[in-house]
Structures are given as structure tokens and as C-alpha cells.
Amino acid sequence: MAALKPFHNTYRCTGSAGDEPPDLVLLHGWGLHSIVWDDVMPALLHHFRVTVIDLPGMGQSPLPNQDYTLDFLVDQVREVMPAHCHLVGWSLGGLVAIRLAQRFPQQILSLVTVACSPCFVVRDDWLAAMRAEILQKFAELYEEDNEGTLIRFLALNAKGSDTQQQDVAKLRDILYFCGLPAPRALREGLVILRDADLRDALAELKQPVLMLFGEHDHIVPAAALEAVRDLAPHVEVALMQGVSHVPQVSAPDIFARALQDFWQERVPAIKGCAQ
């Protein structure tokens, strides 16, 4: 029997990059799926051939009967990725992206994480993060009310954004577009967010790296920017004003510009990003 692979879709470049444009892969976060990138897709397709991937058990991806660990997600995603690509990961997808870049440095040409910390919860030596008990409370509430807790978590994604009401409505539409995620993927995805500590992995990356943070993010606090700067001075960091945990939804034009500025400066092989 063939192994189950994640749902993925590749869209052709619409710009002037030629017959063989660079490849870009987009990885979404906990509870959602690849439609979360739709608003920024036109800008990205101007420069790249873009592949979107739904993490196992979310969106249209099946859930194999394997331990749902960070390395399992990495292996699943890598099965359907191009041989060489640039990578953007949002939230949980950012953790997957960092681990991919660490394990397969020859495959990942550059990395952008969005609203992602290498360590999502507070440690004794990592204070700019969510308290572990908040994430644990979400896990407990999820067992009592799966759908309601998922909706509340999506609202937390948008809390504090200048476009909060519109963001929440859009996230709800995205959530229901493909049906609710598999409960095991959500439960064990929260465990990954709670337990993953990729600070050492981030510090050792050699690829060009940009980490984008939201000014009003209630999941990854903006203070994580300075913590990352101290941890890995070679990593470029930027703060997006007026947005929370979903800048690609709140401010897609500004978000796309931030990515393009990074690629133009740090990855000159990508043509036309100044346009």
C-alpha cells in the first residue's frame, strides 16, 4: 500500500522569471491550511513557482498512523517539496521550516519564518514567550469543546490587529473551507508547540534567514525579536506594525513587500524582487 502523502499544489510563476523560476514552499500553522496564503499568492507568483502544502491532518492532507512529532512533519513535507527551494513557514509551520533548514541545508536556499519563535513557551533562559500553562489550558479546553476552542484560538491569532474583526471573519472562513482538522493532529500539534526548542538549530543555520514578528502578537510576543537577535545575530529580524499573529492576512501587501525586500537584499539570485 502506498504511503500517505500530504496534499500539495504547485502554481506556475506569472512573472518574467523564465521557464525555470525559483521554487518557493509555503507552510501554514496550527489548525489551518494552505488557503491562509491566498491573499499574498499573486505577489509571490510574480517571482516564484509556489508550492503550498497542508500539514498532515489539516486542510486536505490525510493523517498517517505515525507518531505526530516535529520530525514526522518535516519528513512528510520533504516528501512533496522541490529538490531546492526557498521556504516560508508561519507559526507551527515556522518550526517545521527551521527544522527542515537544519536537517537539509542543501535543499533549503533561504528561510522566512512568520510569527514564529524557535521556542514558543517560556523557559528559565527564554522569557519572551507564551507561558506554558496558557498552552496547556488550551489543550484542556480543547478536550471539552473541540470546535469552540479552535475558534477561540483563531480569535487569539487576530487579537490586537488593526483589522481584528475582518481577520477573525477571514480565519473562520478559511477554517471551515476544508472541514475541521483531525483532532489528533491538533492535540499533538499543541504538544509540538509546547515542547519544541529549536534555539540551537536556529543559531547554526547558514542560509539567509528572516524572522517576521507582529507588533500586537498575543502568541509570539514582539519581545521575541530581541531575544532572537541576541541568540542568532546573523538572522535578520523585522517587526510588522499594526498586525498580530497573521500578518499575511492582516496586511498582505506590506507582508509581501517585507519578503521581497529580504530576498532582494539577501538572495540576489532571485530576479526582479525590487519590482
Catalytic residues: 91, 217, 245
Interior/surface letters 84-123, b for 16+ CB within 10 angstroms, e for the rest: ebbbbbbbbbbbbbbbbbbeeeebbbbbbbbbbbbbbbee
> Cα 43–46–48 angle (5° rounding)?
105
**203/234 Cα distance (integer angstroms):** 8
Q: Hey, is 63 helix, strand or coil? A: coil
Element (H, E) at 258: helix 252-266
Q: Which long-range contacts (CB under 8 A, 24 or more apart) does 223-232 make?
A: 223/128, 224/117, 224/128, 224/129, 226/128, 227/117, 227/126, 227/127, 227/128, 228/117, 228/118, 228/202, 231/118, 231/199, 231/202, 231/203, 232/202, 232/203, 232/205
Which residue, 205, 198, 263, is CA-closest to 235? 205
Bridge pairing between strands 8-11 and 49-53: antiparallel
